[in-house]
């Protein structure tokens, strides 16, 4: 096994290299994103999964440089189409946001302005980035609502956010994000507050639009079912670090990191009667950001943790199949049980 470098399965549109974002208080520094590395291939979908507080949303906001005080992007690189976004001026970033990179936020009611109509909010992107007249922008807004499957778009474009259902508001957010045909779409928990039927429609819509427009997507979610249905690659995050990066098929078939295995084992399964077998859980709780473990951050909750896990933090390394893993079990320095890996398969 060799240390992960810039080896990629496909040509990337976005590369995150050693990204570091912290929040500061009078007493200590909270490392919300601590040396994150991953890539998003062109035209593909990368899922970012993990528990609440793992750094998923902060990573996405760092990419667009939307971190506000007391937070700060401390270091690393965000390479988009060969250029580092962290070197751009704020004026240059305003041209990139909503034009080349767009974002769908978690809750549309907090992201949409309640005092402007849906049409006014969508048309703003056309007026700013494509220099359209007010009339032209409004006509394009109607076309965008039609594109995302909203019925009677000519009427809906004149309505305010509170007059729409949750599913329609989320479709409006997608319409706003896609207004200028972005090359990269960041979707932060886009279906969290929606019922299962609407959730499926929104995910199907995003996949269809991706196929038609050829854009890349970062799908941020805690729902592994969404990842299995929509993503090509997945980065699993824990306490501000990527612990596993793999093709989706590989991750679900042969998960390597104990945390990934724990997430998958905690999913309800239709082929198991819970009256006969209890649902598995990841024991323990997420450590306080103000009191990080000395070694591997998952070690206090890991059933396989050995002495080296508690003392030293492993690097994110590349395995023979091109996937990446941050775990001592898969290195020559592992000092624990050698015969069986985290999936119960013999290794020797």
Q: What is the pLDDT of residue 269?
A: 64
Helix orientation angle between 196-213 and 166-178, rounded to the nearest 10 degrees = 10
Category of 289 on φ-ψ map: left (φ > 0), alpha (ψ -120 to 50) or beta: alpha
Q: What is the pLDDT of residue 6?
A: 45
Q: Judge whether 59 and 70 are in contact, CB under 8 Å.
A: no
**Each residue's pLDDT tens digit, 227-243:** 998 999 999 999 999 99
Q: What is the pLDDT of residue 276?
A: 58
SS3 state at 344: coil
Q: Judge whether 36 and 59 are in contact, CB under 8 Å.
A: yes
**Each residue's pLDDT tens digit, 5-37:** 444 457 899 999 999 999 998 888 899 999 999
CATH placement of domain 1-100+184-270: 3.40.50.300
293: its two tokens? 């473990």
78: its two tokens? 């965000």
Which helix (H) or strand (E) covers residue 237, if one does?
strand 233-238
To which residue do tokens 């501000």 refer? Answer: 240
Which among 217, 235, 223 has a CA at the least distance from the CA of 104? 217
pTM here? Answer: 0.86
Q: Judge whether 190 and 202 are in contact, CB under 8 Å.
A: yes
Regions of the chain with pLDDT less than 70: 1-9, 193, 269-278, 337-348
DSSP character at residue 329? G
Dihedral through CA 25, CA 26, CA 29, CA 32, nearest 10?
Answer: 0
- Give the burial string for 36-61 (b: 16+ CB within 10 Å, else e): bbbbbbebbbbbbbbeebbbbbbbbb
Nearest-angstrom CA–CA distance, 22 and 20: 7
Q: What is the pLDDT of residue 270?
A: 57
Nearest-angstrom CA–CA distance, 342 and 186: 32
Which residues make up the CATH 3.40.50.300 domain(s) of the chain?
1-100+184-270
């Amino acid at each position: 096994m060799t240390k992960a470098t810039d080896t990629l399965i496909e040509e990337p549109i976005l590369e995150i290299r050693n990204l570091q974002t912290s929040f500061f208080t009078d007493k200590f520094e909270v490392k919300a994103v601590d040396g994150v590395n991953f890539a998003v291939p062109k035209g593909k979908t990368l899922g970012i999964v993990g528990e609440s507080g793992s750094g998923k949303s902060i990573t996405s906001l760092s990419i667009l440089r939307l971190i506000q005080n007391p937070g700060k992007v401390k270091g690393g690189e965000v390479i988009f189409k060969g250029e580092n976004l962290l070197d751009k001026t704020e004026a240059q970033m305003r041209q990139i946001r909503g034009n080349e990179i767009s974002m769908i936020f978690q809750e549309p009611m907090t992201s949409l302005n309640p005092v402007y109509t849906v049409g006014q909010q969508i048309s703003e992107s056309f007026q700013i980035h494509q220099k359209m007249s007010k009339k032209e922008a409004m006509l394009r807004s109607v076309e965008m609502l039609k594109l995302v499957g909203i019925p009677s778009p000519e009427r809906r474009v004149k309505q305010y956010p509170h007059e729409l259902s949750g599913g329609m508001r989320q479709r409006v957010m997608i319409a706003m994000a896609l207004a200028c045909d972005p090359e990269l779409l960041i979707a932060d928990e886009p279906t969290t507050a929606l019922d299962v039927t609407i959730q499926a429609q929104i995910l199907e819509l995003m996949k269809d639009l991706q196929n038609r427009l050829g854009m890349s997507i970062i799908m941020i979610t805690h729902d592994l079912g969404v990842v299995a249905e929509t993503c090509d690659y997945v980065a699993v995050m824990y306490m501000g670090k990527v612990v596993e990066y793999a093709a989706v098929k590989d991750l679900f078939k042969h998960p390597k990191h104990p945390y990934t295995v724990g997430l998958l084992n905690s999913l309800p399964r239709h082929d198991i009667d819970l009256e006969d077998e209890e649902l598995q859980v990841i024991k323990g709780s997420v450590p306080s950001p103000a009191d990080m473990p000395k070694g591997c951050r998952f070690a206090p909750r890991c059933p396989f943790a050995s002495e080296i896990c508690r003392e030293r933090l492993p690097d994110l390394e590349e395995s023979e199949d091109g996937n990446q893993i941050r775990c001592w079990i898969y290195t020559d320095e592992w000092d624990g049980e050698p015969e069986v890996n985290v999936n119960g398969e013999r290794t020797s």
